[in-house]
Structure 1
Amino acid sequence: MTASVEGVWSPSRAPVHEISLKVLAVIADEATHTLFSRVVTSDELMLASDLAEGIALAETAAPDVAFIDVGLGDGAGLAMVHHLKALAPEATVFALATRAQLEAGAHAVALGGAGLFLLPLGGDEVLNAVGSVRVRFVERALRVQLEQESARSARAAGWIARVAELADARDRNAAAQQVAEVFVEATGAAAAAVYLTVGERSTELTRSALTGPLDRAPAYGSEADILDFARREQLIVVPLALRRLSAGHLLLQKEPGRSSAFPSVRRPDSSVSTSRRAPLLDGLVKLLATQATTALALLGERERSTGGAAMKDPASSAYSFAYYVDVAGREIDKAKRHGRRFTIATIVIEPDATAAPERPDDLSYWRATPPPPANGLNAGQVAEHLLRAVRDTDILARVDENEFHLLMPETAGLEAHACHRRMLSRVAGSEKRAGYLPKGLLVGLATFPHDGQGLAQLLRIARRRAEATKSSILHRVPQDRRSIGEIFSLLVREAPSAEGPSAISAPRALDLSVTDTVLLATSVIRNALRGGAVLILVAHHDGLSLGAQVKALLASPRDDVVVHALDLRSAPGCDDIEALCVLAEHGAYALVGRNQGGFVKGIHAADPLLADFLAERLGRAAGLRVFG
């Protein structure tokens, strides 16, 4: 069945011919068999010559219409009328009888038969009987359809009323959250994200609301970026626009296994959906989008007339994301005009992440123990820790419940790395735990102009780097491991094989001659020097070592390059350790291994957490405070 053009059923338009019925005819007469075969062509016909075969067919597939000769089996056909009603309660049964069997036919009607036909049958009689049953099916389907339409209309009235109340929302973000919830409820979508324009004429969009499993939706981006994301993820885009007025876009995620996020029209007697959408629902979506656009425009005008959107996030001491985007836009313009730099940090809290074990006796015990409980990081507490760690000129904004963004003006990569270190120390609760990233706290940095020229690009890179820290090998290091020797053994044992070229920060095994290791180290340092300021820590030994070669490479001093050549021979188990940590404007690198017979065996990685951690531990082993 399909809906009419207006989306409402009418008896005159009911497509009776689209319903296929199962017709069972139990009769011994071959001429009547031939008649049924010629007349019943659009339905499924089942013919039986005796009662046993008829019962078997009825048990296999319950018929919608049945014609039974009551004279079969010396009158046993009369009993089959009653038996068939027990097998198929919804079946319509017609009795067939000769003039001599009229009394038996009357008994068949009394036992539940819908009518009596005298043999021999005519084609019109069969067609009229089947047609009357088909009409009853259509009427039943129509009744169900009308009940569904009535319920949908009642719900639609509620959704329209809720959208009409958006103008009274606290701000545009609160209104956007209500829009997402209404559309998810109205369309049956699995998830929704609402993107609103940053300014009146801006093409930049910010994610103002999110509901459902759309975690990968970008927090900010140009209109082209958002639409490209929707295309890649196969999301449905509902423009929040009215003529020349544009408030943003609504993205809807389809339910798995459904061809559309909108419920399609279904046959009441079938679980298979048709390919046509309900016109009423499509019209409802457009109406809701239009109303939402108007309400969001009114809220935007109210915010502009009262001095802009709220500066502070109501749930923490951080700024609102709208204010953050506004400040970041001005900072980008200033940086481009004056050739300055700034850095953006993305801080993500993972509520379900488990913390690393604190005091394992040995590695086998650590692996055998059950996973610790989920982290206890609270978004409000994290915000307070971050605010204490950053400078007064930095802007910390809360994007959603578990995500913060930090804008650091006039800050290059190394300075941002130092701020990153302070943030981790604050959240860890102790300077002695510097270098450890609490499980469940992801931090990524992106610096202008090295990593991008626009805010959307910088945010994407910062988020990608934050996600990369989730798999850092540093999470596998128990926090009671103190000496470099212990840490080296654990790192080598726990280093997984890199998953592929895209796993840039994953640790990789190192097994090279000392000469090749020196070439690798000098190549890394040369690339780091191209970006500007560099902090280098290297283990120094007598003879051919990384320390000697690095010092030779940097024989000409530079104001923006700091080199610490550390003698680790006094530290236990470190007499053959070769180590290099490079912290540069555009990245970080760590290498640690043992020099065994002219070959260096260990690991190396472009992991900023590992580089920070090793630098701090190398300095501690040599009695040097690397980070002030």
Structure 2
Amino acid sequence: MASQPPLSQPALRVLLVTEDEAAGQLVTSLAREEGDRCEVVSTVADALTSAVLGLDLAIVDLSADGGAALALPHHLASSFPNAVVHVLVDEAHVVQGADALSLGAESILVAPLSGDAVVRVLGDCRARRLRTREVTTLKTKLSLERRRLEVYDRMVRFARGASHTDAVRAIVEGVAALSGAGGVALYAAFEGQGECVRLAAQGSASDLPATCPPADLSRLVQVRQARVLPLSAGQGEIGLLVLDRAPPAPEPEVAAVADLATAMLLLVDRQEAPSGAPARVLPSRYFRDVAERLLTVARRHERRASVLVVTHGVASSRRDDLTREVSESVRTTDALSVVDEGDVLVFLPETGGLGAQTCRRRVLAHLLGERRHRGRRTSEPRSRAALGAGTATFPHDGENIKDLISLARSRARDEARSAVHALALDVISLPQIVDALIARPTVDASPRSPCPLDLPLPTLFALVSHACRAAQRGGEVVVTTTLRSGLGGFAAAARQVTTPRVLDARGQAGCEDLEVVVVEGEHGAWLCCGRVVGERFRGVHAADRLLGDLLCARLLAARSGDAG
């Protein structure tokens, strides 16, 4: 009994053209052992007739049919481009084999035919056919994925930029394209109301009612053998998606379609929300899915996007309050936030590095303002929890949402260990901040901790120019410096590279010999502060963005006039 080939290895159709009965029996027996079908003929006419039924492998004895079989390699190769043709010749007629190769044959087999040679050509043909199937499958998957990304792109663009009607229609059309359903309807559900309102519908779902209680809608679609998918977000159920006449699909694919519709509907809702309303808080899976799609759009159109992570040490009972405070600080039109692993994540589309830093400062100012309003910190461990916020910008800091979140979280945790928190610098004046840093330069062993700096002034000014030049290579840069009498100082060093913001703080007591420079780039920050003693500078330098923000704020408060 012949063995059956595995499902991944379909049976081959083998054609042997020969007048040698021994060769015919050999090929037939070996092919059947592998589960393949083999047909043996002796004339060219019979070979062409048999090949019409299908052909994967042909072995042609060139001496068959009085030598007329030499024409078969060309006929078979041209009629069946996916078939493999081998020719069989004896040693005296090897030249004919060379002619057959030029006519389309794959290789030459020398008579008498051996079992090893037959097994080899059968195996090679089977492997070639499997590779062809795999390539075809991969091309199909690639085409489907390209189509899926085009649908995602269109849905995101409509959800963010079109009118509400066009946006929900784009969602319905996208869901129909992804699911293959004959009809799709999108309903909105409102908290505290017993009615669902149809936002858009197409195909066979166009006759569904415009308004309907959720229970009645479920019974109605059950009669039609359709599917109702609830669209749920952090604040509860926001809508229903009806798929009518949808082909069978795995549950993960159906869930992915529902998740995408939820995320797009949330984007549409945020476009329609009033400017003073807080941003919606998405569950983690919705947040990451929407963020990845928006990154795809940014990559395609060479745009920027950023991620902001706020890390904190508050108790779990207060995390909802913290999330609400953050959502009130970000813009409702361009930010999504979610609580993930205890941190608050904010995605900022169309936002570069400096724009993300502006958002970061706004969030921190709001959170610190809320804390001050509740009272001063005490010795209790919970009240001593330090806030930290970090950003990462696409594409320079990462190509996917996972890398961006990881880098932003790392920067946020570094900021939570800033000298601003460790030395309580946010409650003292500018000269006191500088003196405290000089007295205790190394707060901890982190890379962003302040380090002592004792240099001659010319060397220091060269260092400042180099820092400004390095920051400028990474994109936009903002430099803030103090004003010093004469031609020297940080301001003069920074002017060699860019136009700094120069602030005169000499009018405040204790700031006469103070020198401060803060270099803020898109992907990092560097600061240097201290006092000039004779021809030397004694102070600290650090890559601490929070400390740089504090120094800039103190300079603005202490200035007696702007220059530069």
Report the TM-score range of the alignment, normalised by the length of the smaller protein: 0.3 to 0.5
TM norm structure 2: 0.48
TM norm structure 1: 0.43
| More helix per residue | 2
